[in-house]
A = this chain, B = another copy of it.
Amino acid sequence: MTGIKDVAQAAGVSVSTVSYVLSGKRTISSQTISKVMDVIDELGYVPNANAQRMRGGRSQIISISEPIRKDMNQIEFSSYFLQTVKHVKSAGYDALLLSGEHEAVDDIRRVGNNNLADGVILLDIETDDIRARRADSYGKPCVAIGYPQERRYCACIDIDFVHMGHMAAQRLFDLGHRVVAALRDLEMHYVRQSSYVILFRDAFLQRAEELGMTVMESGPVEYDTFDPQQYVEDLLGEKQRPTALVSQADAAILNTVLDALALANVSIPDDISVLSCGTYFEAELMKAPISEIPLEPEGLCTKVTDILIDAIENGTDIRGVLELIEPKYVDRGSVSKPRSDFLRQS
List A residues at the B interface (Cβ < 8 Å).
1, 46-51, 53-54, 59, 61, 68, 74-75, 77-79, 82, 85-86, 89, 94-100, 109-111, 113-116, 139, 223-224, 252, 256, 259, 282, 284-285
Please tell me which one of the listed residues B49, B114, B282, B284 contacts residue A48 in the complex, with CB atoms under 8 A apart. B114
How many copies of this chain?
2
In the complex, A139→B48 CA distance in Å? 13
- Please judge, given known A-B contacts A68-B86, A89-B99, whether A114 and B46 are in contact too, CB under 8 Å: yes
**With contacts A54-B54, A100-B89 known, is A94 near B111, CB below 8 A?**
yes
Given A48-B115, A96-B97, A252-B282; 16 other pairs, CB 8 A cutoff: A46-B110, A48-B114, A49-B111, A49-B114, A50-B53, A53-B53, A68-B82, A74-B74, A77-B78, A77-B82, A86-B99, A94-B98, A94-B111, A95-B99, A223-B284, A256-B285
Whether B284 lies near A224 (C-beta < 8 A) is yes
The 5 closest A-B pairs by CB, nearest first: A50-B53, A49-B114, A74-B78, A223-B284, A50-B54
Taking CB atoms, residues of chain B closer than 8 Å to A109 are: 46
**Residues of chain B contacted by A256 (CB below 8 angstroms):** 285
Residue pair A96, B95 in contact (C-beta under 8 Å): yes
Q: Closest CB-CB distance, A134 to chain B, in whole Å?
A: 14
Q: Is the CB of B116 within 8 A of A97?
A: no
Partner of A97, one of B97, B114, B223: B97
CB distance from A73 to the nearest CB of B (A): 10
| A99, A224, A282 interface centre (most CB from chain B within 10 Å) | A99
A88 to chain B, nearest CB (A): 9
Q: Which residue of B lies closest to A55 (CB)?
A: B50
Complex interface: chain B residues within 8 A of A46 (CB):
109-110, 113-114
Please give the distance in Å from A249's CB to the nearest CB on chain B: 12
A-B contact pairs, 7 of them (CB 8 A): A50-B53, A53-B53, A68-B82, A74-B74, A74-B82, A86-B99, A223-B284
**Least distance between A40 CB and chain B CB atoms (Å):** 13
- CB proximity of A166 to chain B, nearest CB, Å: 31
A78 cross-chain contacts in B, Cβ below 8 A: 74, 77-78
Per the bound structure, the CA–CA distance linking A95 and B256 in Å amounts to 36
Instruction: Determine the chain B residues whose CB is within 8 A of the CB of A50 once the complex forms.
Output: 50, 53-54, 59, 114-116
* B-chain residues with CB within 8 Å of residue A259 when the two chains form the complex: 259
* A83 (CB) vs chain B CBs: closest residue: B68
Q: Measured between C-beta atoms, what is the minimum distance from A218 to chain B in Å? A: 17
Q: Which of B113, B223, B284 touches A285 (beta carbons < 8 Å)?
A: B223
Q: Which residue from chain B places its CB closest to the CB of A139 in the assembled complex?
A: B1
